[in-house]
Amino acid sequence: MGKYILRRFWQSIITVLIVLFVMFMLLRLMPKENYFTRDDYINMTEEDRTAYLRNLGVLDNPLVQFVRFLRGFVTGDLGRSITVYPKTPISEILKEKIPYSLWFGLVSVLLSVILGFLMGIGMANNKDKLGDQLGTMYVVAVRAIPSLVYLFLIQMWITHLFNLPMVFYEDEPASWILPAISLSLSGIAWYAIWLRRFMVDEENKDYIKFAIAKGLPRNYIMKRHVLRNALVPLVQYLPSQILLTIAGSLIIESIYSIPGMGGLLVYAIRQQDNTLVQALVCIYSILGVFGVFLGDILMAIVDPRIKLTSAKIEREVTA
Amino acid sequence: MKTNNTNIKMKLDTSPKNYGDILIEAKDVEVIFNLRGKKLKALRGAGLVLRSGETLTIVGESGSGKSVLSKTLIGMLDKNGTITNGSILYRGVDLARISREEDWLTIRGKRIAMIFQDPMTALNPLKKIGEQIREVIVMHCGLDARASRTAALEMLEKVGITDPERRYEQYPHEFSGGMRQRVVIATAIACNPEILICDEPTTALDVTIQAQILELIKKLQKDMGLSVLFITHDLGVVAKMADKIAVMYAGQVVEEGSVEEIFYDSRHPYTWALLASLPQLGVKGKELFAIKGTPPSLFKEIQGDAFAPRNPYALQVDFYHEPPLFEISPTHRARTWLLDANAPKVEPPEIVVKLREHLKKTTGR
Ligand SMILES: Nc1ncnc2c1ncn2[C@@H]1O[C@H](COP(=O)(O)OP(=O)(O)O)[C@@H](O)[C@H]1O
Ligand SMILES: [Mg+2]
């Protein structure tokens, strides 16, 4: 087990380094004009511009820049935003924005897991009956209808119905409810449909037939064999999903005016804010890879077969 | 019977005396499966008698209904199947009429246990071996955590697993196929059932392991006084295990009798054909005999004797009327018109006669 964790750890580190390197080098190909705000660029002389770039370090050998970037990253210095929040240190931007996305995200993961699991269990237990069909309808609806449509409807109608605020106010807890729920709708559907599927898969396996022949009651079999085993392929995704809540949700944060991380990367790319882009990609890829790493360890804990065999884990679910 | 049987109060008569030595008596069992609206009659009036302490083997080609018949005994027919006729008496209860799962829970695993073909998939891969045995003991014997653990360890020892303390904590993937089948057997007999149904328990194992598992089942049967219903399509296995044999064809038992009666004095042409196709006892230099043709489709109503189209001894009447079970001795019965008083006298094929001699020599039975 220890060996397995160690090997997966080094693999993760190498993966992150490769991702960062490629991303960093690609960004070096961007035009140098991107390092200026528009006003600065217009107001500076050619010499000023060169001096500014030299000062930023972007004229150095890219490899040197990469090492400097990594060193800065480790010490918490992410550079300054250029165009999105001109001249503001990125670490400050993150410090301000992450908590919103993180809290909403964590609450939504919690809601999704609890409600999604309950729904999935209910659907598997009533396979092909009304409950299952209603559940499937919900899942299909959430998946098929563009989220903007139902999220907008929720915002319009539910706020009206229960007299809730239309947008997010930090000091008004009632305004937190709808964003949290909206954020969970697709997560609930995801957990429900996969848990149902894995439970149905397990139920059809031979060992369940033998468990029935042993004279164990159905409830016991569903709980101790079917559910227990069906959870295994799902726990793997939990760490990634928790960690990546940091990235926030573009749609929900914008319709409820939550000043979180949602969409920050998109704006940064659109406004060609190189330093912000590289900081965000760096953070997200570390969290992503680290989430998969934690998932694999969790998986090895709940599935005894993995300890002995190689690190090959079937990735059946695609998030 | 699907009719108003929900209110039957199930009373299992557990006193030993009342039923002589007959434990299970199944009569005229008919099972129909519903396959996307089409009806498949898997059992067409099958019957068997299982006596206390003996091993009854069911043989027959694949698809003849062996598994279906054995599943009716523990209420484990697939969801699309129903028992539409007949009775299965066990200690004063007609198992064919039990419809509530709760009622089955007092029988299944506790009094009638069953093991299946593939030991590689019969155990939960994520649960410790010991726990999988223990959960049955807790459920049926009502022992507490400690006592049930001890009992589970004893069971492991009983089925020949060395170092049970260590093995108890291991998972199925740490066991070989043969060892897993031992665990499966330990689980099945953990609560001292009186009947053990084995549905081709060694088919998936290689030959040496197969022999060990057969020995184990025999030994347990003796030690625990089990009655065994043993399903196989391998007559070599039958020769090793059986006291009684039931030969199945197309959802019916076409001949039943003691081992001696079936091997040395069989009367049904299908039994002859089976005997002639026995590979282990094949006569050197002679081609292995295979039964020509295919079994009838069970989707259609079968007229006459189901074996008639493949039967070189078929009489005219076989194609129109189903033969009844003719009694040859109190334990020996066969379903063929050849036993009718008006039928012409026929001898079994030469190969079967030779096989009998060969069998006598090799198995000493
Ligand atoms: N769930 C089912 N649905 C439809 N047909 C079935 C089902 N189970 C068994 N059968 C059919 O019943 C017949 C007997 O099957 P089975 O008892 O499994 O044969 P075997 O003698 O090989 O054990 C076969 O024709 C099989 O196709
Ligand atoms: Mg079978």
What does the pLDDT look like over B266-294, one tens digit per residue? 999 999 998 887 765 555 555 556 778 88
Asked whether the predicted pLDDT for residue B3 surpasses 60, the reply is: no
Distance CA B213, CA A118 (A): 43
* Helix B207-224 with B177-188: angle, nearest 10 deg: 20
Torsion of CA A267, A269, A275, A281, to 10 degrees: 100
A12 falls within a domain? no
A4 falls within a domain? no
**CB-CB under 8 Å, A214 with B136:** yes
Q: For ligand 1, atom 19, name the residue with the nearest CA.
A: B63
Asked whether the predicted pLDDT for residue B355 surpasses 60, the reply is: yes
For residue B13 the two structure tokens come to 């008569």
Asked whether the predicted pLDDT for residue A208 surpasses 90, the reply is: yes
Return the pLDDT at B286: 54
Write out pLDDT tens, residues B80-96.
999 999 999 999 899 99
B231 touches chain A (CB under 8 A): no
Distance CA B149, CA B144 (A): 8
- The answer to whether the beta carbons of residues B82 and B76 sit under 8 Å apart is no
Give the minimum alpha-carbon distance from B189 to chain A in angstroms, rounded to a whole number.
Answer: 9
Asked whether the predicted pLDDT for residue B6 surpasses 60, the reply is: no
Chain B positions in Cβ-Cβ contact with residue A228 (cut-off 8 Å): 126-127
Return the pLDDT at B347: 87
CATH code of the domain containing A135: 1.10.3720.10
Distance CA B195, CA B53 (A): 9
Return the pLDDT at B362: 67
A278 falls within a domain? no
A55 falls within a domain? no
* Helix B129-141 with B177-188: angle, nearest 10 deg: 10
- pLDDT average, residue stretch A201-215: 96
A91 falls within a domain? no
Q: Is the CB of B65 under 6 A from ligand 1?
A: yes
Return the pLDDT at A311: 44
Q: How many CB atoms lie within 10 A of CB B261?
A: 20
pTM: 0.86
pLDDT confidence tier of residue B189, bands split at 50, 70 and 90: very high
User: At A42, phi and psi to the nearest 5?
Assistant: -70, -40
H/E segment holding residue B284: none
**CB-CB under 8 Å, B126 with A229:** yes
A125 falls within a domain? yes
What is the residue-wise DSSP string for chain A? -HHHHHHHHHHHHHHHHHHHHHHHHHHHTS-GGGGS-HHHHHHS-HHHHHHHHHHHTTTS-HHHHHHHHHHHHHTT---B-SSSSTT-BHHHHHHHHHHHHHHHHHHHHHHHHHHHHHHHHHHHHTTTSHHHHHHHHHHHHHHHS-HHHHHHHIIIIIHHHHT--SS--TT-THHHHHHHHHHHHHHHHHHHHHHHHHHHHHHTSHHHHHHHHTT--HHHHIIIIIIHHHHHHHHTTHHHHHHGGGG--HHHHHHTT--SSTTHHHHHHHTT-HHHHHHHHHHHHHHHHHHHHHHHHHHHHH-HHHHHS-S--------
Asked whether the predicted pLDDT for residue A284 surpasses 60, the reply is: yes
Asked whether the predicted pLDDT for residue B256 surpasses 70, the reply is: yes
Q: How many domains does chain A have?
A: 1
Domain housing A200: 103-272
A316 falls within a domain? no
Return the pLDDT at A313: 44
Give the closest ligand to the alpha carbon of residue B64: 1
Distance CA A235, CA A255 (A): 31
Least trusted range by pLDDT, from A84-98, A178-192, A300-314, B283-297: A300-314
Give the minimum alpha-carbon distance from B199 to chain A in angstroms, rounded to a whole number.
Answer: 12
A107 falls within a domain? yes
For residue B316 the two structure tokens come to 């005219």
**DSSP type of residue B43:** E
